[in-house]
């Protein structure tokens, strides 16, 4: 569901919306002033997001480089967008403690793409992450069984790399030493 207002929604209006009693059980994101109600994930979506979060969290138990977050942690991006990645990582180098709220972009954001996600909206979200300082975005496509890895290209844009089932997600400079085979993030089919 998209809540559209011909006048862009302000941060104050967004806060009122998400804190309204009738929205207590709902999640919302805001991109370029447009408010989106976050649809509850399918079991496959939740499985993949949780698995990636768990693998990052397990890695951080051995290498305390920062903090991992599962679905549900809102990031208030510097450009005014408010997003809830399916999993995220924030380095201790950038912020050595867990704040009451994140007013920055995660170093790594994971987005599991659902059939309800419109490609243009997801591209807008990925570009917003990169614009605000995210160094890696892993966009996971369960139906296609592939991951698109987005990163800044150093010229103010984002570059993308497509990984199929033979590929490996690499933490690169963001999460040094972390790797996860793409084939291992998808559930075994019946």
Confidence bin at 87 (pLDDT 50/70/90): very high
- Which pLDDT does position 114 carry in this prediction? 86
Q: Give residue-wise pLDDT tens across range 129-169.
A: 999 999 999 999 999 999 999 999 887 778 999 999 999 99
Whether pLDDT at 118 is above 90? no
Backbone conformation region of residue 78, classed left if phi is above 0, alpha if psi is from -120 to 50, else beta:
alpha
Please check the confidence at residue 6 and state whether its pLDDT lies above 70.
no
What does the pLDDT average to over 167-186?
A: 97
Which phi and psi (to 5°) does residue 37 adopt? -80, 130
Report the chain's terminal Cα–Cα distance, integer Å: 31
Predicted pLDDT at 167? 97
pLDDT band of 190, cuts 50, 70, 90: very low
Least confident of 8-12, 111-115, 174-178: 8-12
Inter-residue long-range contacts of 167-171, CB under 8 Å, 24+ positions, other chains counted: 169/138, 171/59, 171/108, 171/136
Q: What is the CATH number of domain 41-185?
A: 3.90.1570.10
| Band (22; pLDDT cuts 50, 70, 90) | very high
- 3 pLDDT higher than 70: no
CA 30/CA 122 separation, integer angstroms:
12
pLDDT top residue among 35 and 1: 35
């Amino acid at each position: 569901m998209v809540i559209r207002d011909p006048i862009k929604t302000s941060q104050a209006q967004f806060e009122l919306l998400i804190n309204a009693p009738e929205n207590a059980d709902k999640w919302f994101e805001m991109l370029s002033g447009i408010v989106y109600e976050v649809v509850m994930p399918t079991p496959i979506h939740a499985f993949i997001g949780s698995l990636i979060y768990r693998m990052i969290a397990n890695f951080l138990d051995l290498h305390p480089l920062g903090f991992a977050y599962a679905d549900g942690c809102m990031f208030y991006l510097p450009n005014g967008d408010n997003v809830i990645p399916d999993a995220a990582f924030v380095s201790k180098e950038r912020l050595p403690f867990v704040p009451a709220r994140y007013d920055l972009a995660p170093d790594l954001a994971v987005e599991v793409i659902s059939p309800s996600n419109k490609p243009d909206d997801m591209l807008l979200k990925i570009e917003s992450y990169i614009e605000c300082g995210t160094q890696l975005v892993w966009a996971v496509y369960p139906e296609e069984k592939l991951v698109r890895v987005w990163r800044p290209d150093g010229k103010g844009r984002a570059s993308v790399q497509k990984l199929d089932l033979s590929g490996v997600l690499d933490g690169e400079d963001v999460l040094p030493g972390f790797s996860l085979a793409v084939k291992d993030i998808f559930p075994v089919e019946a």
